[in-house]
Structure formats: structure tokens, C-alpha cells
């Protein structure tokens, strides 16, 4: 089977037999059909997914994968959908949604912590701070799962969680457990080998330095206050749309400033708008479609490139109906020009 960044995942769009097989193999409540993806992502955008499985344990995830492999059904994995743009046409396959069922955490000593992929990132960071460990505090305001954070090498203040990852336990597409070290994960700024989509992270070990608990709590509160002042909090959004580019940064500054300089702050397409508060955010003012967001991504990218000679890449990933997941600017650049 082939998994590559720009190829659809293997398998077919599921028929009714796949949902029936999953329902008979998994506990009730873990399988849903015809689910609006808009309910699973922070942007509140996206058409229906054929099947969504929300495993409550590693065992039921492995069972789901065995059924999916046997039925040769297409599948993808998501966490909280806080970095995903779902397509208006939805997704023809099985969405494996890793959430709180895979969310434990324990302190192994010597600064090493083991946690489940479904753990909510702010809860993870708070626990790490409570254990007097430093190095996770930059992620305190990130509204996703630990699995998503580890896949995206998420973080703030130019840090990424990949720096702390010691080991990742992941299940492959036929249900085999794989153990990967930091070296295997090919961490780069907001990117990792896990974005290929062929492995599902179920747990990770991370190493932190010893820190002062009270100082770390104060730092967390100040990071949260700064984020509240800077980022749009009311309208649905997916955080920063574009990744900061070092060349653009030294020429103009971060993507938000470059988009603002291009005169695009507050510009709308349909229900989507380049946030009037922070130009690297695109907000859903109600009824936004993926097409609207993609138009704004292309407009911002092209305008900043015309001004600076530098084309920004999106951090946000687009999920196509056939399961291809790739940085949203790649899809935006394929849009037809407006008539
Ligand atoms: C308001 C707001 C602020 C944000 N601020 C920041 C920030 O400061 N810094 C930052 O880095 N990000 C930020 N983000 C983006 C986002 O929260 C992070 O990228 C987060 O780590 C994504 O986690 P998730 O669980 O939502 O993943 P999803 O969006 O569901 O998925 C993202 C990618 O990870 C993959 N994935 C998810 N879970 C797994 C798993 N268990 N195994 C394998 N692959 C998996 C998916 O296939 C997809 O490719 C922000 C988002 C919002 C809405």
C-alpha cells in the first residue's frame, strides 16, 4: 500500500457493509455515520464524512483498524480538527477521531512524562507544570490533542513540541504497533514525518527539564493573557493560517504583519474574513465555506508574494473528499480564477 503526502490514502469509499462491520465489532457509541465535518473542526466548515469512529481505547482503535483493513476502506486520522480545513464536499471514508478516550498521563521520573494522544494540550501542559517540569509552557494555549501537536510539531514562541519528544507509539494501517524515536520523526518547523498520514499516534514519551512550579504558572498565565489580547477569540477559526518564513520575517515580519501591509486585514470572501484583529487568522463569520477560506488564502499568498517576492506556506491542512491531506495553499493555488 502506498502512503504519500499528495496521494489519497489506500482503500475505497466505504459502503453500508463497512459501517455495519464496524458497529458489530466496536462498542455502541464509537461509530457514527453521515457526520457533518463542520461539527468536528474548529472552523465549523465542511460537508459530511461517511463514517466517524471515536475509539475509547487503544484496543478499540486496533479493532477498528483491523475491520477497516479487512473491508479495504479508506481512512484518515484527526484530533480536535484545530488545524484542518474540511472540504465543502466532505470526506468519502472513515474518520478515526482520537480524543479523550486515549488521554491518560503519567510521570515516569527523571523529567520523562508519558501521555496518550487524545489528551487535551492545555491539560497536558498544566499537569507537566504541576510536576515542576519546564519546556511545555509555550503550548499552554493550543486547543488541540497531544497527537495533533506531536504531528504538527506545534508550539509557540518559535518552539515546537518535537524538541521534547523522546518516543512515539503509533499504530500502522494494519494495526501493528510501531515505536519511533525523535530521529525517526524528521521534525522541522511545524512539520514532521507523521504528516504522511500512515501512522496513528496513540501515546508519546516526552522529556522536560526541572523548573520552578510557581514561575512556570506565572509564565503560563502571561502567555494566555497575551494570546487573549492578540488573537480573535469569538469567531470560529483555525489559529494561524500561514507558517512564519525566516526570509519574510527579516524583510517585513510575521505573516500577519505582511498580510496587513498588503492591505488585506478585514477582507471577506463569502462568510470567511481575514480577521480584523490578526491578519494571519481567517474567521468564519457564519456560513463560511471551504472555498471562501481557500480564496482568501490564495489572495493573501499572492498579494504578499507580489509585495515581497516570498510565497508563504500554509500551516493549516486541507482534507479533500478522497482523503488527500495537504497544506491548504497547495489546494488554494489550484482554484479556478474568479470570472
Ligand atoms: C485558536 C487557535 C490557536 C492555535 N494556536 C496555535 C499555536 O499557537 N501554535 C501551534 O502550533 N498551533 C496552533 N493552533 C493549531 C492547532 O491547534 C495545532 O496544530 C494542534 O496541535 C492540532 O491538534 P489537533 O488535535 O486539533 O489536530 P488536527 O487539526 O485534528 O490534525 C492536524 C494534523 O495532525 C494529524 N493528527 C491528529 N491527531 C493525530 C494522531 N493521533 N496520529 C497521527 N496524526 C494525527 C491529522 O491527520 C492532521 O494532519 C491553533 C489553533 C486554533 C484554533
User: What CATH number is associated with residue 209?
Assistant: 3.30.465.10
Q: Is the minimum distance from the CB of 47 to ligand 1 under 6 angstroms?
A: no
Say if residue 166 is in the same domain as residue 108. yes
Q: Mean per-residue pLDDT for 271-290?
A: 97
pLDDT at residue 102 tops 70: yes
- 192 has pLDDT over 90: yes
- Given this model, what pLDDT does residue 1 score? 41
- Pair 176, 250 in one domain: no
Cα(145) to centroid(ligand 1), Å: 7
Q: Which of these ranges, 9-13, 70-74, 303-307, 327-331, has the smallest mean pLDDT?
A: 9-13
Average pLDDT over residues 163-170: 98
Residue 138, all three cell numbers: 509555550
pLDDT band at 3 (very low <50, low <70, confident <90, very high): very low
Q: How far is the CA of 82 from the centre of ligand 1 (A)?
A: 5
Q: Is the CB of 185 under 6 A from ligand 1?
A: no
Tell me which residue range forms the domain holding 27.
16-100
Residue 79 lies in a domain: yes
Q: Considering 77, 100, 123, which residue would you say is the last residue of a domain?
A: 100
Question: Does some domain include residue 262?
Answer: yes
Averaged pLDDT, 181-185: 97
Q: Report the b/e string of 65-98 with b at 16+ CB within 10 A.
A: bebbbebebbbbbbbbbbbbbbbbebbbbbbbbb
Grade residue 232 by pLDDT with cuts at 50, 70 and 90.
confident
Report the percentage of the chain scoring pLDDT > 70.
97
Measured CA distances, 305 to 37, 84, 265, 316 (Å): 32, 24, 16, 18
**pLDDT tens-digit series, residues 64-80:** 999 999 999 999 999 99
145 lines ligand 1 (CB under 6 A): yes
Domain count, the chain: 3
Final residue before a domain boundary, out of 75, 100, 125: 100
- Note the pLDDT of residue 339: 55
Q: Atom 51 of ligand 1 has which residue's CA nearest to it?
A: 239
Ligand 1 center–CA 186 separation, angstroms: 17
Q: Band the pLDDT of 231: cuts 50, 70, 90.
A: confident
pTM greater than the 0.85 cutoff: yes
The residue assigned the cell 477582507 is 267
> 194 alpha carbon to ligand 1 midpoint, in Å?
12
pLDDT at 36: 98
- For the sheet with 317-319, list strands across it: 84-86, 317-319, 325-327
Same domain, 66 and 111: no
Name beta bridge partners: 318: 85, 326
CB half-sphere exposure, 264, CA atoms < 13 A: 27
Judge whether 73 lies within some domain.
yes
Same domain, 143 and 80: no
By most ligand atoms within 8 Å of CB, the mutation choice from 85, 144, 164 for ligand 1 is: 144
Residues 184 and 252 in one domain: no
Most informative mutation of 85, 152, 223 for ligand 1 (most atoms within 8 A of CB) = 152
Looking at the structure, do residues 92 and 175 belong to the same domain, yes or no?
A: no
Whether 153 and 198 map to the same domain: the answer is yes
Return the pLDDT at 215.
98
In this prediction, residues 48-70 reach a mean pLDDT of: 95
Check if 317 has its Cβ closer than 6 Å to any atom of ligand 1. Answer: yes
pLDDT at 178 (0 to 100): 95
pLDDT at 20 over 80: yes
Write down the residue that cell numbers 504578499 correspond to. Answer: 304
Average pLDDT rounded to a whole number, residues 195-201: 94
CATH number for 57: 3.30.43.10
Catalytic residues: 190, 240, 315
- Confidence (pLDDT) at 9: 85
Query: What is the distance in A from the centroid of ligand 1 to the CA of 240?
Result: 11
Q: Is the pLDDT of residue 174 over 80?
A: no
* pLDDT of res. 309: 97
pLDDT band at 338 (very low <50, low <70, confident <90, very high): low
- Does the Cβ of 118 fall within 6 Å of ligand 1? no
Q: Which residues pair with 170 in a beta bridge?
A: 178, 201
So what's the pLDDT on residue 2?
42
Task: Give the pLDDT of residue 10.
Answer: 84
Letter string b/e over residues 171-180, b meaning 16 or more CB atoms within 10 A of that residue's CB: bebebeeeeb
Nearest residue (by CA) to ligand 1, atom 50, is: 239
> For ligand 1, what atom is nearest to the CA of residue 145?
25
**Which DSSP string corresponds to 269-312?**
ETTEEE-SS-TT-EEE-SS--HHHHHHHHHHHHHHHHHHHS-PP
CA of 258 to the centre of ligand 1 (A): 23
d(CA 33, CA 94): 9
Q: What is the pLDDT of residue 5?
A: 53
- Whether residue 132 is contained in a domain is answered as yes
DSSP 9: P
Indicate which residue's Cα is closest to atom 21 of ligand 1. 149
Question: Would you state the pLDDT for residue 230?
Answer: 87
Whether residue 7 is contained in a domain is answered as no
Q: Judge if the beta carbon of residue 282 lies within 6 A of ligand 1.
A: no
Which candidate, 148, 156, 139, places its Cα nearest to that of 116?
148
200 lines ligand 1 (CB under 6 A): yes
Task: For residue 6, tell me if it sits in a domain.
Answer: no
Any ligand 1 atom below 6 A from CB of 236: no
The closest residue, in CA terms, to atom 11 on ligand 1 is 154
The mean pLDDT of the chain is: 95
**Residue 10, domain member (yes or no):** no
84 within 8 A of 100, measured Cβ to Cβ: no
267: confidence class by pLDDT, cuts 50, 70, 90: very high
- The answer, yes or no, to whether any atom of ligand 1 lies below 6 A from the CB of 308, is no
Question: Which among 216, 250, 284 is the end of a domain?
Answer: 216
For residue 6, pLDDT over 50 is answered with yes
Q: Are residues 151 and 244 in the same domain?
A: no
Listed as own residue / partner, the contacts of 56-62 with beta carbons closer than 8 Å and 24 or more positions apart are: 56/27, 56/30, 56/101, 57/101, 57/102, 58/102, 58/171, 58/202, 58/203, 60/26, 60/27, 60/30, 60/101, 61/96, 61/98, 61/102, 61/171, 61/200, 61/202, 62/171, 62/175
Amino acid at each position: 500500500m502506498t502512503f504519500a503526502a499528495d496521494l489519497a490514502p489506500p482503500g475505497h469509499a466505504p459502503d453500508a457493509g463497512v459501517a455495519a462491520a464496524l458497529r458489530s465489532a466496536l462498542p455502541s457509541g464509537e461509530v457514527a455515520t453521515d457526520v457533518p465535518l463542520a461539527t468536528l473542526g474548529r472552523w465549523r466548515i465542511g460537508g459530511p464524512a461517511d463514517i466517524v469512529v471515536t475509539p475509547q481505547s487503544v484496543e478499540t482503535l486496533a479493532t477498528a483498524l483491523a475491520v477497516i483493513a479487512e473491508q479495504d476502506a479508506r481512512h484518515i486520522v484527526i484530533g480536535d480538527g484545530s488545524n484542518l480545513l474540511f472540504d465543502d464536499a466532505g470526506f468519502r471514508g472513515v474518520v478515526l477521531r482520537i480524543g479523550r478516550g486515549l488521554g491518560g498521563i503519567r510521570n515516569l521520573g527523571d523529567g520523562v512524562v508519558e501521555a496518550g494522544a487524545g489528551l487535551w494540550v492545555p491539560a497536558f501542559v498544566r499537569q507537566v507544570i504541576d510536576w515542576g517540569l519546564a519546556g511545555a509552557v509555550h503550548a499552554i494555549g493550543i486547543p488541540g490533542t497531544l497527537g495533533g501537536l506531536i504531528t504538527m510539531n506545534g508550539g509557540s514562541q518559535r518552539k515546537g513540541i518535537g524538541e521534547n519528544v523522546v518516543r512515539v507509539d503509533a499504530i500502522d494501517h494494519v494495526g501493528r504497533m510501531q515505536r519511533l524515536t525523535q530521529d525517526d520523526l524528521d521534525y522541522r518547523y511545524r512539520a514532521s514525518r507523521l504528516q504522511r498520514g500512515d501512522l496513528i499516534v496513540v501515546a508519546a514519551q516526552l522529556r522536560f527539564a526541572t523548573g520552578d512550579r510557581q514561575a512556570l504558572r506565572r509564565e503560563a498565565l502571561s502567555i494566555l493573557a497575551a494570546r487573549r489580547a492578540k488573537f480573535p477569540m469569538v469567531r470560529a477559526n483555525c489559529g494561524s493560517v500561514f507558517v512564519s518564513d525566516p526570509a519574510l520575517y527579516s524583510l517585513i515580519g510575521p505573516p500577519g504583519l505582511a498580510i496587513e501591509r498588503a492591505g488585506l486585514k478585514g477582507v471577506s470572501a463569502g462568510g470567511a474574513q481575514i480577521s480584523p484583529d490578526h491578519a494571519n487568522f481567517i474567521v468564519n463569520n457564519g456560513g463560511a465555506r471551504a472555498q471562501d477560506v481557500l480564496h482568501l488564502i490564495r489572495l493573501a499568498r499572492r498579494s504578499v508574494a507580489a509585495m515581497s517576492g516570498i510565497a508563504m506556506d500554509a500551516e493549516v491542512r486541507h482534507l479533500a473528499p478522497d482523503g488527500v491531506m495537504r497544506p491548504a495553499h497547495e489546494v488554494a493555488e489550484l482554484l479556478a480564477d474568479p470570472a
